[in-house]
Amino acid sequence: MDARLSYYTNPVGAKVTKFVNSAGKAVADSSLPAATQELVKIRASQINGCGFCLDMHTKDAAAAGEDQQRLHMVGAWREATVFTEAERAALALTEAGTRIADSAGVPDDVWAEAARHYDEEQLTALVCLIGVINVYNRLNVLTRQPAGDYQPGQFG
């Protein structure tokens, strides 16, 4: 499969992705645990059917030492016993924030559970991360970015 276009080499796309990357860097540098960040990226990418991001974030998580069983269980996190309560709250918020049209917003109980586990900085980072990964998922799905060739750390 070939990509429909490369938004990295297009002048407008390059400008937009520069700002999205900056937003992602702000989240990456926050106190939100790195493992939680990768789980969120993986779950949103599964929901959105973004193979490019799934390839990237599962490989990056594995390279950072994430357990393979946990990576395999992200799609069934509700039934899996390998996630902490805080991670489960982050995954629930990710689903609600990614499927926002399905429930007319994020339910109060989902928000409250996330707020119970994360302080204000972490919760803000989590919300921003959900937004950023959804932007990237949409860019990649719209342009049919191929998946499978990503190397951990490829984009620095």
DSSP 78-89: TT-SSS-HHHHH
In a domain, 59, yes or no: yes
- Domain of 75, CATH number, reads 1.20.1290.10
* Distance between CA atoms of residues 79 and 108, nearest Å: 22
Q: Containing H/E element for 133? A: helix 120-142
Q: Which tens digits make up the pLDDT trace of 82-126?
A: 999 999 999 999 999 999 988 889 999 999 999 999 999 999 999
* Distance between CA atoms of residues 94 and 39, nearest Å: 9
Amino acid identity for residue 35 in this structure:
A
In a domain, 20, yes or no: no
Q: How far apart are the first and last CA of the chain?
A: 25
Is the Cβ–Cβ distance between 40 and 91 less than 8 Å? yes
The token pair that represents 130 in the structure block: 């959900």
Nearest to 132 by CA among 33, 22, 52: 22
pTM of the model: 0.94
39 lies in which domain range?
Answer: 34-142
Question: Has residue 144 got a pLDDT over 90?
Answer: yes
The 8-class DSSP code of residue 17 comes to: H
Provide the strand spans (E) within the chain: none
In a domain, 26, yes or no: no
> Which sign, positive or negative, has the C-alpha torsion 151, 9, 147, 60?
positive
The token pair that represents 114 in the structure block: 């996330």
Task: Give me the residue label for tokens 């939100």.
Answer: 32
Question: Has residue 52 got a pLDDT over 80?
Answer: yes
Question: Has residue 1 got a pLDDT over 80?
Answer: no
In a domain, 147, yes or no: no
User: Tell me, what's the pLDDT at 2?
Assistant: 87
Q: Count of domains in the chain?
A: 1
In a domain, 19, yes or no: no
Mean pLDDT of 64-69: 95
In a domain, 104, yes or no: yes
